[in-house]
Chain A
Amino acid sequence: MVDFSGWDMPVEYPKYGGLMKEHLAVRSGVGVFDVSHMGDIRVHGPQALEAVQHITMNDASKLSIGQCQYSAMLYPEGTFVDDVIVHRLGQSDYLLVINAGTREKDVNWVTENTRSFDCIVEHLSDEYTQIAIQGPKGAATLQKLTNADLSQVKFYWFTHGMVCGLPNTLIARTGYTAEDGFEIYVPSDEATSARVWNEVMQAGEEFGIVPCGLGARNTLRLEGALSLYGHEISESINVWEARLDRFIKMEKGNFIGREALEQAKASGMLRTLVGLESVERGIPRDGYKVRDLEGKEIGYVTSGSYGPFLKKNVALAYVPPEFSSIDAEVAVEIRNQPVKCKVVPIPFYKRPKKQS
Chain B
Amino acid sequence: MAYPTEYKYTKEHEWLKVDGTTGTVGITDHAQNSLGDIVFVELPKVGTEITAGQTFGSVESVKAVSDLYAPVSGTVTEINEALNTSPEEVNKNAHAAWMIKVTLKNPAEADGLLSAADYEKFAADEAGH
Q: Does residue B63 face the partner (Cβ distance < 8 Å to A)?
A: yes
Q: Does residue B86 face the partner (Cβ distance < 8 Å to A)?
A: no
Query: Using a CB-CB cutoff of 8 Å, which residues 313-353 of chain A contact chain B?
Result: 313, 335
Q: How far is the CB of A10 from chain B (nearest CB, A)?
A: 11
Q: Does residue A239 face the partner (Cβ distance < 8 Å to B)?
A: no
Q: Which residues of A contact B62 (CB under 8 A)?
A: 19-20, 23, 215, 219, 305-306, 308
Say yes or no: B39 contacts A306, CB within 8 Å: yes
Say yes or no: B63 contacts A215, CB within 8 Å: yes
- Taking a contact as CB atoms closer than 8 A, the residue among A18, A19, A283 that contacts B40 in the complex is A283
Query: Using a CB-CB cutoff of 8 Å, which residues 36-71 of chain B contact chain A?
Result: 36-37, 39-40, 42, 58, 60-63, 65
List 5 tightest A-B contacts by C-beta distance, closest first. A20-B37, A306-B39, A215-B63, A18-B36, A19-B62
Say yes or no: A19 contacts B37, CB within 8 Å: yes
Q: How far is the CB of A82 from chain B (nearest CB, A)?
A: 25
Sample 14 A-B pairs with CB under 8 A, ordered by A number: A12-B36, A14-B33, A14-B36, A18-B37, A19-B63, A23-B62, A215-B62, A281-B42, A282-B40, A283-B39, A283-B60, A283-B65, A313-B40, A335-B58
Q: How far is the CB of A335 from chain B (nearest CB, A)?
A: 7
Q: Does residue A285 face the partner (Cβ distance < 8 Å to B)?
A: yes
Q: Does residue A264 face the partner (Cβ distance < 8 Å to B)?
A: no
Taken residue by residue from 1 to 14, chain A's Cβ proximity to chain B (1 for < 8 Å, 0 otherwise) reads as 00000000001101
- A interface residues, tally (CB under 8 Å): 18
- Taking a contact as CB atoms closer than 8 A, the residue among A281, A306, A308 that contacts B84 in the complex is A281
Q: Which residues of B contact A308 (CB under 8 A)?
A: 37, 62
Q: How far is the CB of A31 from chain B (nearest CB, A)?
A: 15
Question: For B37, B40, B42, B62, which residue has the most chain A Cβ atoms within 10 angstroms?
Answer: B62
Instruction: Name the CB-closest residue of B to A305.
Output: B62
Q: How far is the CB of A14 from chain B (nearest CB, A)?
A: 7
Question: For A11, A14, A20, A285, which residue has the most chain B Cβ atoms within 10 angstroms?
Answer: A20
Within the assembled complex, what's the spacing in Å between the Cα atoms of A20 and B63?
Answer: 10
Q: Which residues of B contact A14 (CB under 8 A)?
A: 33, 36
Within the assembled complex, what's the spacing in Å between the Cα atoms of A281 and B42?
Answer: 9
Q: How far is the CB of B69 from chain A (nearest CB, A)?
A: 14
Instruction: Name the CB-closest residue of B to A219.
Output: B62
Q: How far is the CB of B19 from chain A (nearest CB, A)?
A: 30
Within the assembled complex, what's the spacing in Å between the Cα atoms of A11 and B64?
Answer: 11
Taken residue by residue from 297 to 309, chain A's Cβ proximity to chain B (1 for < 8 Å, 0 otherwise) reads as 0000000011010
Instruction: Name the CB-closest residue of B to A213.
Output: B63
Instruction: Name the CB-closest residue of B to A23.
Output: B62
Query: Using a CB-CB cutoff of 8 Å, which residues 207-242 of chain A contact chain B?
Result: 215, 219
Instruction: Name the CB-closest residue of B to A306.
Output: B39
Q: Which residues of A contact B61 (CB under 8 A)?
A: 19
Q: With A20-B36, A305-B63 given, name 8 new contacts (CB 8 A).
A: A11-B63, A12-B36, A14-B33, A14-B36, A215-B63, A282-B42, A306-B40, A308-B62
Q: How far is the CB of B87 from chain A (nearest CB, A)?
A: 10
Within the assembled complex, what's the spacing in Å between the Cα atoms of A215 and B37?
Answer: 11
Within the assembled complex, what's the spacing in Å between the Cα atoms of A282 and B37?
Answer: 16
Q: Which residues of A contact B37 (CB under 8 A)?
A: 18-20, 308
Q: How far is the CB of A301 from chain B (nearest CB, A)?
A: 13
Q: How far is the CB of A174 from chain B (nearest CB, A)?
A: 25
Q: Which residues of B contact A335 (CB under 8 A)?
A: 42, 58
Within the assembled complex, what's the spacing in Å between the Cα atoms of A91 and B39?
Answer: 50
Q: Which residues of B contact A23 (CB under 8 A)?
A: 62
Within the assembled complex, what's the spacing in Å between the Cα atoms of A18 and B61?
Answer: 11
Within the assembled complex, what's the spacing in Å between the Cα atoms of A308 and B37?
Answer: 10
Within the assembled complex, what's the spacing in Å between the Cα atoms of A238 and B84?
Answer: 40
